Amino acid sequence: MTDSIVIADTGRLRMRGFQPADIGALSKILADAGVMRFSLHGPYSTEKTRDFIAANRACQAERDFALWALEDRAHGVLLGFCGLSQTELNGRQEIELGYRLARRAWGTGLATEAASAALRYGFEQCGLDSIIAIVDIGHRASARVAQKTGMRREARSRYHDSTIDIYRRHNGLK
């Protein structure tokens, strides 16, 4: 996938723009009910995954940020996605950190590695003032990722019929 935009290389990951060729690997990840347990939309079909890739390619072109493919640097295997998206929360427009990783990547620190890179990109490249994470109160692993990346729990709220904690990190560069 050398023709896609590289957002960041970390110790173990390459964060890059999605390519149409990612559809097969990403479809398998996003069709997994366990991976999608805390998703608003549940498991994705191949068609929904294709739309997801197209939407994030368009978002990158329009806004300079998106949800990006996460690739294992050592083997070139797609492990999921991580990045930034615009969302409305409690009547305000926010930039949200989001990610999904294949089960084989759980518990390895890759979510924290990817989230840290996405936050750095948002602050350093996009000049964002703050970035939030919306974490379902039952998702302890995501709460730990938010905390490890320097986000602080700001509030508890309702979001699409779920009780969530809102984590926020402010840009320390400004």
Alpha-helical (H) ranges within 64-163 are 110-124, 140-148
- What count of residues does the chain have? 174
* Count of the separate structural domains present in the chain: 1
CATH number of the domain to which 46 belongs = 3.40.630.30
Task: Specify the pLDDT at position 155.
Answer: 94
52-72 pLDDT, tens digit each: 999 999 999 898 899 999 999
Query: Is residue 78 in some structural domain?
Result: yes
Q: Give bridge partners of residue 152 from the DSSP assignment.
A: 168
With a cut of 60, say whether residue 129 has pLDDT above it: yes
Q: How confident is the model at residue 174 (pLDDT cuts 50, 70, 90)?
A: low
Query: Is residue 17 in some structural domain?
Result: yes
Q: How confident is the model at residue 32 (pLDDT cuts 50, 70, 90)?
A: very high
Query: Is residue 61 in some structural domain?
Result: yes
With a cut of 50, say whether residue 141 has pLDDT above it: yes
Least reliable range by pLDDT among 66-70, 134-138, 170-174: 170-174
Structural domain of 47: 6-170
Query: Is residue 120 in some structural domain?
Result: yes
> Looking at the chain, which runs of residues are DSSP E strands?
6-9, 13-16, 67-72, 78-89, 92-101, 130-136, 152-159, 162-170
With a cut of 70, say whether residue 173 has pLDDT above it: no
Task: Specify the pLDDT at position 3.
Answer: 55
Q: What is the pTM (predicted TM-score) of this model?
A: 0.93
Query: Is residue 1 in some structural domain?
Result: no
Burial 23-56 (b: 16+ CB within 10 A, else e): bebbbebbbeeebbebeeeebbeeeebbebbeeb
Q: How confident is the model at residue 46 (pLDDT cuts 50, 70, 90)?
A: very high
